[in-house]
Amino acid sequence: MSSTEVNLKQGLRKLEYPICAKEALYKIFDLICSRITSIKNMDLALDLMAEFVFYEVDRRGHKRAQQLSSLQELQLIKILYEYFNSISSESGRNTVFLSLFSGTTLSLRLGILTKFISTAIGIPSSKILSSASAWMQQLGNASPNSCKFAEGIIQDYFYFYVSSTEKITVLPQISPQFTANFMTAVAENYFNTTNKRDVCFPPKVLLETITLWISESTSLCVAAQQKQAMLPPGAIAMEATTPIAGLLKWCILSPIFKQENTFYNNLHLALLNSIMEIPKAVPPKAIYAQHLTVSINPILAYVNDLKNRQEKKLDQILHEDSLQLALDRFAQAIQVISSVNAMYGHVDDLFHQLKLLPFNKLMSIVLNNYKNKVVIL
């Protein structure tokens, strides 16, 4: 360790927490956002984060037995809020944000991150939410880390502080990119049928809010794809996954999970209107075909359940109201997506799998239209 590094750390150790955290953040910016960066500078910046910002290790690099107290966490969140709002450079702001909350350290810092972004929603900061949006995209806005983060925001605004939902209602106006990425992560957290016994459904107020967001702004779902985040030099920007397929899954599966109410109907209509307004892109990038196949197996499982547990005849199953409503919505979505050429990926495979579904008049029309289109091509 050089004398400069030793002096820097010794100087910060003389300061009480959270003053040392505040000073360390400015040093971190200089280390990783200067014109000439190095691995050595990055390593030093990471050391400063762990010891002085998040108080995770002691001067020897050993894990601290005592972590930040609740008061110290609040002090740190206030410092982070003021610090990120003071950075005028979007690239610099995102560089520091991505370093502070990297995928390798997130398990330790997720609680602070969630409280930090909840604050940026409650006391609106478009700068901070823009950096959070860039962070979600770089980690994958449908990744486990993004989904855990989104669940924390949901807990804050849709369970613990339901009276504060007006704060999050206007979120698309503050940061449409963050809102779009947030919806993508949220969509993954509900109607997840990987474990049938633990299928979770969105709280009513969350469903109402998302429906309102999309109804008021048809371009919201693709907002994160319309503006590229400013990243550090050499960084590869990750393409955002839109929330459309995930939210359509809610609408399609809600009837067979007996979650049907007018809000799913309204959300489905809002999504269809949103899809129709998707800007044309060559090649298409709005909806990945494989994401739409997720709804197929739960529908087939529902049919098997009707057949085995309720001992219904095939004719009764095919005319079951919940099943036909699910299939109608699925067919409507596929038809509208196809009509605006918004789908990419293994499209042929999707249509092949759709043939496995029980008969539905509208779906049969959609399949025949695609078959004729392919033949013509």
DSSP notation for 323-368: HHHHHHHHHHHHHHHHHTT-EES-HHHHHHHHTTSPP-HHHHHHHH
Residue 72 inside a domain? The answer is no
Check residue 276 and give its pLDDT: 97
Residue 79 inside a domain? The answer is no
Check residue 37 and give its pLDDT: 75
Asked if 217 and 91 sit in the same domain, the reply is yes
The angle subtended at Cα 155 by Cα 154 and Cα 160, nearest 5°, is: 125
Asked if 223 and 262 sit in the same domain, the reply is no
Per-residue pLDDT 10s for the chain (377 aa) are 677 788 999 999 999 999 999 999 999 999 999 877 788 999 999 999 999 999 999 998 899 988 899 999 999 999 999 999 999 999 999 999 999 999 889 999 999 999 999 999 999 999 999 999 999 999 999 999 999 999 999 999 988 766 667 788 999 999 999 999 999 999 999 999 887 678 999 999 999 999 999 999 999 999 999 988 888 877 888 999 999 999 999 999 999 999 977 899 999 999 999 999 999 888 889 999 999 999 999 999 999 888 887 666 777 788 899 999 999 999 999 999 999 999 999 999 999 999 999 999 999 999 999 988 765 54
Asked if 223 and 290 sit in the same domain, the reply is no
Check residue 30 and give its pLDDT: 94
Amino acid in the structure at residue 212: L
Asked if 372 and 248 sit in the same domain, the reply is yes
Specify the number of domains making up the chain.
3
Check residue 266 and give its pLDDT: 97
Distance CA 17, CA 76 (A): 9
Asked if 92 and 222 sit in the same domain, the reply is yes
Q: Which domain holds residue 209?
A: 87-229
Asked if 343 and 286 sit in the same domain, the reply is yes
Query: Do 181 and 129 contact (CB within 8 A), yes or no?
Result: no
Residue 81 inside a domain? The answer is no
Can the peptide bond before residue 298 be classed as cis, meaning omega within 30 degrees of 0? no
Asked if 102 and 153 sit in the same domain, the reply is yes
**Among 176, 195, 229, where does a domain finish?**
229
Query: Do 186 and 250 contact (CB within 8 A), yes or no?
Result: no
Asked if 219 and 288 sit in the same domain, the reply is no
E strand or H helix at 288: strand 287-288
The angle subtended at Cα 114 by Cα 249 and Cα 236, nearest 5°, is: 70
Asked if 193 and 259 sit in the same domain, the reply is no
Q: Which is nearest to 185 in space by CA: 216, 209, 153, 157?
A: 153
Residue 17 inside a domain? The answer is yes
Asked if 225 and 101 sit in the same domain, the reply is yes
Identify the bridge partners of residue 288 per DSSP, sorted by sequence position.
344
pLDDT digits (tens, 9 = 90+) for 98-137: 999 998 899 999 999 999 999 999 999 999 999 999 999 9
The verdict on pTM exceeding 0.75 is: yes
Identify the bridge partners of residue 343 per DSSP, sorted by sequence position.
287
Residue 236 inside a domain? The answer is no
Asked if 130 and 178 sit in the same domain, the reply is yes
Residue 267 inside a domain? The answer is yes
**Among 177, 201, 229, where does a domain finish?**
229
Amino acid in the structure at residue 317: I
Q: Which is nearest to 207 in space by CA: 262, 156, 253, 256?
A: 262
**Among 167, 197, 229, where does a domain finish?**
229
Residue 234 inside a domain? The answer is no
Check residue 163 and give its pLDDT: 63
Distance CA 292, CA 99 (A): 33
E strand or H helix at 281: none
Asked if 223 and 164 sit in the same domain, the reply is yes
Three-state DSSP at 198 gives helix
Residue 303 inside a domain? The answer is yes
Angle, to 10 degrees, between the axis of helix 347-354 and the axis of helix 321-339?
A: 160
